[in-house]
Amino acid sequence: MSLHPQSQALLDALAAEEGLSLPGDLDRIRAEAHDAALRADRIGLDHVADVDADGVPCRLYRPRPGAPVALYVHGGGWVLHDLETHDVFCRYLAHRTGWALLAVDYRRAPEHPYPAPLNDVQTAAAWIRAHDREHRVDASFLPGIGDSSGANLIAGLCVRHPSALDFQVLMYPPVDRRAELPEDEANAALDGPGMEWFWEAYAPGDLGDHPEVSVLGADNLAEHPPAYVVSNEHDVLRDQAEDYAARLAAAGVDVLAHRALGMVHSFWRQPAAFDASRSTVTAVGALLDAQRSRMR
């Protein structure tokens, strides 16, 4: 299938931007994305607050008192993005699904490579389990939601501590450091060299082979919680994300896998630009509700 017109529009917009490159322009890229996010319109919720999760800065989004809560881990190659760049989307996700979110401001590579980001995600998950009632949310059933590198961190947490989460939503996750990345001239949202740089920033050298990093090779997949795995048709991570879903299923894990036709990397967190984002958010909300009902 060809690129969806909305995907093409994103690629055209990216191509028109001033050329910045990693690693030389890392600070500027971070700062510009952060500042642009602060200027964006956002949905009001019942309660939004920055919290300290045992030393890990997080932001709690609560659409209503007593809402079930999910852990949210943002993407950006373990290097880019922060609470502000994902604030608009997290508000939208909480509003549309009725689920509260604890968004994790984990330490970023390359300043803080593996295992620091994963340690922060683990700490935040344990903290919300212990402190949900005082923040008027319900973590008795705790899903993890991650996009791209954030999905890798959710999956890595399940390798480290399979009972840390009760469900995992993995949006186009990178799961195999040594995978040969396919060439896709139609996709400029994420290219092979860029992904290689992100991998090396997060898990340099032999660290990339650790099963908490290259989760595709983990030997405890049968212990993992149920999962929803989304891949993009036009994405260098497509094949490994789908391989991971198949490995989980073969290990006996309850898995739903979905290839977003015509989509490119990052579509999920852009509901204003992608119809598929809005429909996938609706699907995630319904799936979380159903899984929570089953587990109660």
**Residues taking part in catalysis:** 148, 235, 265
Gap between the Cα atoms of 137 and 63, Å rounded: 10
Alpha-helix runs per DSSP H in the chain:
5-16, 26-38, 87-97, 116-131, 149-160, 192-202, 238-250, 275-295
Burial of 287 (0-12, 13-18, 19+ CB in 10 A): middle
- Count of residues in the chain: 296
Report CA-CA distances (Å) from 289 to 43, 128, 294.
Answer: 22, 19, 9
160 within 8 A of 118, measured Cβ to Cβ: yes
Gap between the Cα atoms of 5 and 246, Å rounded: 29
Q: Quick one: angle between helices 116-131 and 149-160, nearest 10?
A: 70
Q: Which residues contact 219 (CB under 8 A, 6 or more apart)?
A: 211
Gap between the Cα atoms of 244 and 217, Å rounded: 9
